[in-house]
Amino acid sequence: MSYFDDIYSRIFGKQDKTPAGIFVNELIKRSQSFINRFQEWKNSDYSAELINDLWQSYFWRKQGVDKDPHILILESTYSNGFAISYEPKYGKNNFHYLFDYLADQVKKLDYRLVVSRHTMQEKGDIVESKEMHYLKPKTGFVEPIDQKFGNVQIEYIEENDEPTRIKLIANSYPDRKYKQADSFEDLAKHIFSIKK
């Protein structure tokens, strides 16, 4: 198992290469009506309030204080991130738009979207639906390579058609051919910015 496979399994849980019970495995393709609704959401007062509340929660959680909405901070030497637990007061559609918003924010930092994938699988009596955006920095090949914040993976997870959480993880390379990764705090500050 590679170093990043090990980190991934510790953060997201052990994953088989071809898990049994997967019955959907497809690329995400957003409809024009979804894109229109998402744009309206991004320009709404509600989205600005939610994103500001998430930034406040993230900031205070880093100080050891729990705030609403609840954010779990994930920290290690080469992998950093957070998980946002779903609450019904957010609304299912709003929480789903937040997932795409986070990817859009990362792309503004000169990142490219490598893949967006949707999978569904049975886990006992639970049907888990997972959408994932995987982004990498646009970099050259001159060493040391600027890895920015590392590779970023964002997941939106539902169980039995109900949202449960959104996770964002930045994985950096410890290899000498890469510059040291930028601070995850700077990434979080940008992600939760409400600038249009």
pLDDT band at 18 (very low <50, low <70, confident <90, very high): very low
> How far apart are alpha carbons 184 and 150 in whole angstroms?
9
Domain assignment of residue 89, yes or no: yes
Examine residue 69 and state whether it is found in any structural domain, yes or no.
Answer: yes
The one-character DSSP state at 90 is G
End-to-end CA distance of the chain: give it in Å, rounded.
41
Give CA–CA dist 67/83, Å, rounded: 14
For residue 10, being part of any structural domain is answered with no
Q: Provide the domain limits for residue 31.
A: 23-191
pLDDT at 16 over 80: no
Position 17 in a domain: no
Task: Please give the tally of structural domains in the chain.
Answer: 1
- Residues 141 and 182: their CA atoms lie apart, in Å, by 18
Q: What is the pLDDT of residue 196?
A: 47
Strand order in the sheet with 111-123: 22-27, 111-123, 126-137, 151-159, 162-171, 79-85, 71-75
Q: Report if residue 18 sits inside a domain.
A: no
- pLDDT-wise least confident of 7-11, 22-26, 92-96, 133-137: 7-11
Decide if 61 is inside a domain. Answer: yes
